[in-house]
């Protein structure tokens, strides 16, 4: 029975994370359309309806899915049959599993068992997430090469070059965070952000969020992360006005899977930013037994209520980060290919190294 209970707990954790990511990715298509419409003073998608109910266009993701499922699955005559069909699955798979080690809460106590609220508990969770995101670019490269189309191949090559420059900057930008919190485990980093910042000077008022302790790293990580996910303004692999992109020969649901990969990677990036810089599931002044405010007021809460607040805090922060990422998407124009490479190698990477040096000096000289 114990083994079955453990298996059920693991399955439940994985199922919750997968359902969360897939549902967020599904609704992001609607969010993107509506947010762009508001920014451009338009109504946006509002035609899809069920029995006359439009619900602000919320049925459009469902309509898009049905449309792609019923479209012809076209394959070029010279394309590699196996690799052409494999590429979208590779992209979606690695994007989905990347979220597995991102914690969405602390622990949940059920029948005397402490259940960690993340799909997979890893001591090197950060490395795992970056490894999965890095492997995802293989799907893009395979799609470009197997399509037997020069424009698709060019898009795949652009994606590979962009990923290399972005991943190095991402890895360097988070070293400062690792130095401050002393762990590669995302759960430990989130717990560290729940501690007060400089309590001997600021008391218990200010939490030690990464946005405060590593302010430059946040912007470096966010910029490099957008580049790694190939979203505007770093969408050179797609380049609709130039080369159409690595998925130019795809249609039907395979094309839809590439679109879903973009949304899932956006969700993963928002989850990472939340866990590394925005306190993750932490709620200011909320501890295991309830709220403990700096002025001495105590508000007791049940363990279940504390867990609900933690999960709600994480989901809210992820939603705010996604809104910010969409804001960038509909505000900035696309970089030229050479500009993006120059920014990665001559801008983000040197600044990340400088942040590591400055963080090391502060930690060495500051003796709390």
Parallel, antiparallel, or unpaired for β 113-116 and 286-287? unpaired
pLDDT for the residue numbered 80: 86
Checking if the pLDDT of 361 tops 90, the result is: yes
193-212 pLDDT tens trace: 988 888 888 878 889 999 99
Q: How confident is the model at residue 310 (pLDDT cuts 50, 70, 90)?
A: very high
pLDDT tier, 178 (very low <50, low <70, confident <90, very high otherwise): very high
The predicted structure's pLDDT at residue 240: 65
pLDDT of residue 241: 65
- The per-residue pLDDT for 218 is 94
Identify whether the C-beta of residue 90 lies closer than 8 Å to the C-beta of residue 257.
no
Picking from 302, 250, 316, the residue whose alpha carbon sits closest to that of residue 75 is: 250
Global confidence as pTM: 0.91
Listed as own residue / partner, the contacts of 57-62 with beta carbons closer than 8 Å and 24 or more positions apart are 57/30, 57/33, 58/27, 58/30, 60/29, 60/30, 60/33, 61/26, 61/27, 61/29, 61/30
For residues 218 and 116, the model is more confident at 218
The pLDDT tens digits for 252-277 are: 888 888 888 888 989 999 999 999 99
DSSP state of 333: P
Q: Is the pLDDT of residue 356 over 80?
A: yes
Residue 186 confidence (pLDDT): 92
Nearest to 120 by CA among 185, 52, 72, 164: 185
How far, in Å, CA of 317 to CA of 325, rounded? 12
pLDDT tier for residue 242 given thresholds of 50, 70 and 90: low
Residue 288 DSSP SS3: coil
Q: Is the per-residue pLDDT at 368 higher than 60? A: no
Q: Which residue has the higher pLDDT, 44 or 353?
A: 353
Q: How far apart are CA 145 and CA 90, in angstroms?
A: 14
**Beta carbons of 107 and 117 less than 8 angstroms apart:** yes
- Residue at token pair 């649901």: 253
Length of the chain: 368
Q: Which of 130-144, 226-240, 281-295, 341-355 has the highest mean pLDDT?
A: 341-355
| Phi–psi pair at 67, nearest 5 degrees | -65, -45
Q: Which of 345, 283, 364, 349 is nearest to 316 (CA)?
A: 283
> Residues with Cβ < 8 Å from 349, sequence gap 6 or more?
165, 168, 169, 172
Average pLDDT over residues 286-308: 86
Q: What is the pLDDT of residues 4-39, one digit of tens each?
A: 766 777 777 788 788 888 888 888 888 888 888 888
Q: What are phi and psi of 348, to 5 degrees?
A: -65, -45
- 73-92 pLDDT, tens digit per residue, is 888 888 888 999 899 999 99
Is the predicted pLDDT of residue 338 greater than 80, yes or no? yes
Q: Mean pLDDT, to the nearest integer, of 355-359? A: 94
């Amino acid at each position: 029975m114990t083994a079955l209970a453990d298996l059920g707990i693991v399955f439940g954790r994985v199922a919750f994370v997968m359902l969360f990511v897939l549902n967020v990715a599904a609704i992001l298509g609607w969010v993107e359309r509506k947010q762009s419409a508001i920014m451009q003073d338009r109504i946006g998608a509002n035609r899809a309806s069920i029995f006359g109910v439009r619900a602000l266009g919320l049925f459009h993701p469902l309509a898009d899915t049905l449309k792609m499922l019923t479209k012809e699955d076209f394959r070029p005559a010279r394309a590699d049959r196996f690799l052409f069909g494999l590429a979208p699955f590779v992209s979606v798979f690695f994007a989905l599993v990347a979220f597995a080690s991102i914690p969405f809460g602390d622990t949940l106590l059920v029948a005397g068992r402490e259940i960690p609220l993340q799909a997979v508990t890893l001591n090197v969770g950060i490395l795992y997430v970056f490894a999965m995101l890095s492997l995802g670019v293989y799907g893009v490269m395979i799609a470009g090469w197997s399509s037997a189309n020069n424009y698709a191949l060019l898009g795949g090559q652009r994606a590979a070059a962009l990923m290399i420059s972005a991943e190095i900057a991402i890895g360097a930008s988070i070293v400062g965070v690792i130095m401050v919190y002393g762990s590669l485990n995302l759960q430990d980093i989130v717990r560290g952000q729940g501690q007060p910042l400089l309590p001997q000077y600021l008391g218990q008022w200010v939490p030690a969020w990464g946005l405060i302790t590593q302010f430059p790293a946040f912007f470096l990580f966010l910029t490099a992360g957008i580049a790694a996910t190939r979203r505007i303004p770093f969408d050179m692999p797609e380049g609709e006005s130039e080369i159409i992109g690595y998925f130019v020969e795809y249609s039907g649901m395979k094309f839809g899977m590439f679109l879903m990969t973009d949304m899932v990677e956006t969700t993963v990036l928002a989850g990472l930013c939340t866990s590394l810089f925005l306190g993750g599931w932490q709620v200011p002044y909320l501890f295991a037994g309830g709220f403990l405010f700096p002025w001495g007021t105590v508000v007791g809460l049940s363990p279940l209520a504390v867990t609900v607040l933690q999960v709600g805090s994480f989901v809210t922060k992820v939603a705010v980060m996604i809104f910010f990422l969409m804001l960038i998407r509909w505000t900035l124009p696309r970089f030229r290919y050479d500009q993006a490479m120059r920014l990665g190698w001559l801008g983000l990477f040197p600044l990340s190294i400088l942040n590591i040096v400055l963080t090391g000096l502060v930690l060495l000289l500051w003796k709390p």
